[in-house]
Structure formats: C-alpha cells, structure tokens
Amino acid sequence: MQLKSVGAFVALVFGLWAPPCLGNDNYLVTVKVWTTSITPDYVYPWRTDLPDESSGTACILEGNRLLTAAHIVADAAFVQVARAGGTKKYTATVEAIAHDVDLAVLRVADKAFFASAKPLALGNLPKLGDDVTVLGLPDDSIRLVETESSMARIKRTSINHAQFLNLLCEMDVEVEDGTSGGPVLHDGKLVAMVIEGNEDTTYAVPAAVIRHFLHDLKDGTVHGSPCVPLQIQTLENRQLRRATKIPDSEEGVIVRKIAREFSKSGPLMVGDVLLTIDGKNIANDGTISFRRDARVSFEYAIDRKQVGDSIAVRVSRGGEIHNFKLNLSLSKSKYPWLVQRRTYRSRPSYYIIGGLVFSVLTQNYLDECGGEDAPDHLLELRAQSRMDVDAGQREYVVLIGLLGADCNAGYEELEDSVVEIVNGKRIGSLRGFVAAIESHRKAFHLIRFRSTQNEIILDREAVIAESKEILARYRVPTDRSEDLKRTK
C-alpha cells in the first residue's frame, strides 16, 4: 500500500503516469485506443457517413510503437490513446496499416506517454494446449481485463476485416467487446494479437504474421503479403492421381487455372502438379507441415514471404519432374481483383446520367447490400476468379440507384443490374462507361445489362436538359466522382 501511495505522489508532482497496480507489468504494456472515423457511403457515393466513435486495445512495442488491429483505426479521422489505468488521453497517428492481416502501428509524439513503459518482445506461437493470457481494455474503460486461456487451434483462414486468407490462431474463450487489438501473452512475450471473436472462440493474429508485417514496413511502405493467383484441385482421389501419372510415393495438388497477370511471366502451366513448395512436401489435401502439432494450407508458404521475394517449387509435368522459382511480385492487397476486396480511406467512384447512378461492384458495396444476403448475381460475380474473364474486363459497372425523374421513370426494377454494353461498346470499367456515353452523338443512349439483356434507352437531348435540375433537386454536388472529372 505504501508503494502505491509513493507512486501516486510521484505521478502528481512530476506529471508522470504511474501504474494503478505496481507489480503487475501487464499495465505497463497495454493501451486503450479511441477512434473517430468517417466512412464513405457506397449507396450514395457523393457523401460520407456521420462520424462514428469506436474503441479497442493496443500494446507497446520497441521503438515507441503501438500495435493494434487495423479495423480499429480504419477510416480514422482522429485517434486518441491512454495507458491502462491512466486517465490522460494523447493524440496518436496511424503510421502503417495492413488491412490484409488486420494489423496497424500507431505513433504518439508526446514522449511522456511512454513513461515507465515496458515494451513487449515478440515471442513464438506456443504449442497447442499451452496456457496464454489475453489482455484487453473492454468497452470504453481503461480497466485492464486479463483472461486466461490456452492455444486451441491454428489454421490458414479468412480474416474478416478485409477477407484475405492468412494464418490465425484460435482460443476457446470469450472476451469482452473492445479487446480487439489486445496482446496474447505466453511466458511474458507477445505471441498473438486479438482481432475478432464470438461467444465461443477468440481469433488472434500469430506472432509470425506480426513479425512479417513489422519487417514489411522497414522501408516505410506496407506492401502486404504476396499472392500466386492459382486455382488448384486436391489429389486425394486415387483415379485422379493415376490420371496425372503421380507415383504413390509422391503427393501434391494439380493446377487448374492460372491468372493472366501471373501466367505472363510465370513458369507454371495448367495441369502441373505441385509437389513441394519452399522445401516442404505438399500433401494430397493441399497442406504442408507447419509444426509437429499442426498442418496448414501450402499457400501459407507464400504468405510468409515478402513481395518481391521468390519461392522454390518442385513440379510434375506429364510425369517429368521440374524445379522452378516463382517470382512473388504480386501483392494480395494491390492485386487487380475484378470485384475489389474491402477497402478503406477511399471514396467510391460514381457517375450519374439522367438520374441513374452507376458505380463499381466492390466488396464495400456488397456490404451495403447485406453482405452474404446481397443479390445472388452480384455474389456470383464476386465468386468468379480473375482468371475467368477476358483481358478487357477490369471491373463491373453496376446501376446502384435512381434519382427519380421523368427520363428514368420505370427503370427502378433494373437497380443492381450489371452493365454489359453501352452504345454498342462492351464495358470493362466505369471510365470506359463514361467514355461510351460522352462520345456518343446519336439521338438515344442504349445501355444493355448482363445476363438479362434488359435495356435502358435515354433520349440524349432530354438527359442533357434535365441533368442539372435533377442534381439540384436531390442536392447532389456533382455528376461524377473526383477521379472521373478528368474524363470530361
């Protein structure tokens, strides 16, 4: 009790932070994060949503850096932090963010924030069944909550924040809201960071992925994890294995499709059987040995590399063995997906003609349409691979809404239709859509949609006459997003 009083006295006299529970080092590493964010509106893309308040947890690393979850500070306009048990809030900035693995690094300019801090060292993921401690500052409080659990599972699975696959570990324990970004400790070291959970399970990014992220940003730029866009089939069926001429002593997976961006320079061919990757044998179910107590998808061998690295593969082609090096120049987060994965801090593109609002099909728009309850034809397009389309298709253009007017009356039922042809030109991008409209000089615009072949006919002169009045009536400031204004 006397030591606590002395600590409080020092804090008052010298303006320093003192832990509320001297002797508990967990207070020295844990941080509360408050975020004010402004999210773009993908249904009415000319406006943004109202500011939203949220909170989470972070931990202190070497070099006066704070590690937290990307989803806590995504779309952030203002970030504040406070030490566990402390009351003074400090302004923080987002130094680096990797949405594909839901990780972010924050900086606090005021060095007083780090008084008495004991930065966490990165450890290694413990064995399955080993005890771990989850630290969090739940809800809107600075009260440190310590939850004891054990490492239950580790697998390569989808990270909800941006829907990319990478390594995650699971603990069979429920943690309180606001624990996201909290450290998972084993023997006093950081072995994982909480990113999401439900009433039964808590999911965390393991130390290996955190270490990859921190190494990635050493040059000041986050490149993300590399990708090799392949479609593969497992070889667990005996007849399929015989057809591929794979001896019983070998296992692997067969390449069914290769994305055009990768096949242009890559050595792989459709029909190749991948036998090993980065020196690890690929099993017929597509897994490689991760540790003695776990196997993961062979693609994790790619995840753990940096963009710009290469990776060795051993391949069977028509019964002959080949050894190749794959150049990992493509980034998951920067890859030109036809239906762009969830993005942050960027305004959606849009174009309005005759009160008809057109935009690009993205995961953000699907989220606004109900996520997995979005229209089936849009979800099917998302499911299609980049390798399934011709080279002219860069994105899908969608009729996302109507600003009711005489010139578009009766077209309401066509909302969420995907554009195929405009004025005789096949459309592969929103910019191409704009060009097809604005270069047209005939009396009518004709917009035809995919699958249904439904059409919109617009009187070109009537549209020109009504457009300004429609925009003014609905208080829309401009007929297109900033990125399309140079198309005019």
283-322 burial code (b ≥16 CB/10 A, e <16): bbebbbebeeebbbbbbbbbbbbebeeebebbbbbeeeee
Q: Percentage of the chain surpassing pLDDT 70?
A: 93
Cα separation, 174 vs 430, whole angstroms? 44
Same domain, 275 and 193: no
Decide if pLDDT at 279 tops 60: yes
Same domain? For 375 and 281 the reply is no
Residue at 1 is within a domain: no
| 39: confidence class by pLDDT, cuts 50, 70, 90 | very high
pLDDT at res. 345: 83
Q: Do 355 and 294 lie in a common domain?
A: no
Average pLDDT over residues 24-52: 91
Three-state secondary-structure class, residue 1:
coil
Domains of the chain: total: 3
The strand order across the sheet containing 164-171 reads: 145-150, 131-136, 183-186, 189-197, 202-206, 164-171, 153-159
Q: 402-430 b/e with 16+ CB inside 10 Å = b?
A: bbebebbeebeebebbbbbbbbeeebbbb
Contacts of 176 (CB under 8 A, 6+ apart): 136, 138, 139, 145
Instruction: Establish if 313 belongs to a structural domain.
Output: yes
Two tokens, residue 217 = 């940003």
Give the CATH number of the domain where residue 297 resides: 2.30.42.10
Give the CATH number, domain containing residue 207.
2.40.10.120
- 90 and 212, same domain (yes or no): yes
What pLDDT was estimated at residue 266?
77
Mean pLDDT of 181-205: 94
Confidence of residue 136 (pLDDT cuts 50, 70, 90): very high
What digits encode the pLDDT tens for the residues 317-373? 988 999 999 999 999 888 888 898 889 988 999 999 999 999 999 999 999 999 889
- At residue 386, the pLDDT reads 57
275 pLDDT more than 50:
yes
| Residue 156 falls inside a structural domain | yes
Query: Same domain for 160 and 246?
Result: no
| In a shared domain, residues 90 and 150 | yes
Q: What is the pLDDT of residue 2?
A: 34
Is residue 344 a part of any domain in this protein?
no
Distance linking the first and last C-alpha atoms of the chain: 72
**Residue 3 pLDDT grade (very low, low, confident, very high; cuts 50, 70, 90):** very low
Does residue 6 register a pLDDT over 50?
no
> How do beta strands 320-327 and 310-317 pair?
antiparallel
Looking at residue 142, its pLDDT comes to 82
What mean pLDDT is reported for the chain?
90
Q: What is the pLDDT of residues 54-76, one digit of tens each?
A: 999 999 999 999 999 999 999 99
- Say which residue, 47 or 248, is predicted with more confidence: 47
pLDDT band at 249 (very low <50, low <70, confident <90, very high): confident
If asked whether residues 261 and 361 sit together in one domain, one would say no
Higher pLDDT, 321 or 388: 321
pLDDT digits (tens, 9 = 90+) for 150-174: 999 999 999 989 889 999 999 999 9
Please give the pLDDT value at position 25.
83
Residue 396 lies in a domain: yes
Last residue of a domain, one of 219, 246, 264: 219
Do 323 and 438 reside in the same domain of the chain?
no
Share of the chain above pLDDT 90, in %: 74
Question: Is residue 82 domain-resident?
Answer: yes
Higher pLDDT, 362 or 292: 362
Dist CA 35 CA 40 (whole Å): 16
Only one residue has tokens 């990113």, namely 195
Closest CA to 294 of 409, 398, 168: 168
Same domain, yes or no: 398 and 357: yes
The pair of three-digit structure tokens given for residue 258, joined into one six-digit string: 């290769």
Final residue belonging to a domain, choices 293, 327, 361? 327
Looking up tokens 């006066």, which residue turns up? 64
Q: How many helices (H) and strands (E) does the chain have?
A: 10, 28
At residue 212, the 3 state secondary structure works out as: helix
pLDDT at 389: 52
Q: Which of 292, 327, 362 is the last residue of a domain?
A: 327
Residues 46 and 93 in one domain: yes
Report residue 459's pLDDT band, with 50, 70 and 90 as the boundaries.
very high
Q: Are residues 36 and 183 in the same domain?
A: yes
Residues 53 and 190 in one domain: yes
Residue 246 belongs to domain spanning: 230-327
CATH number at 411 reads: 3.20.190.20
Domain membership flag for residue 129 = yes
pTM of the model: 0.88
**Dihedral angle sign, alpha carbons of residues 379, 391, 325, 257:** positive
More confident call, 220 vs 36: 36
- Predicted local confidence at residue 390, as pLDDT: 57
Q: How far apart are CA 253 and CA 230, in angstroms?
A: 11
Domain contains 433: yes
Write down the pLDDT at residue 27. 87
pLDDT of 21 = 52
Distances (CA, A) of 39 to 33, 199, 438: 18, 27, 31
Q: Give dist(CA 374, CA 371) in Å, integer.
A: 5
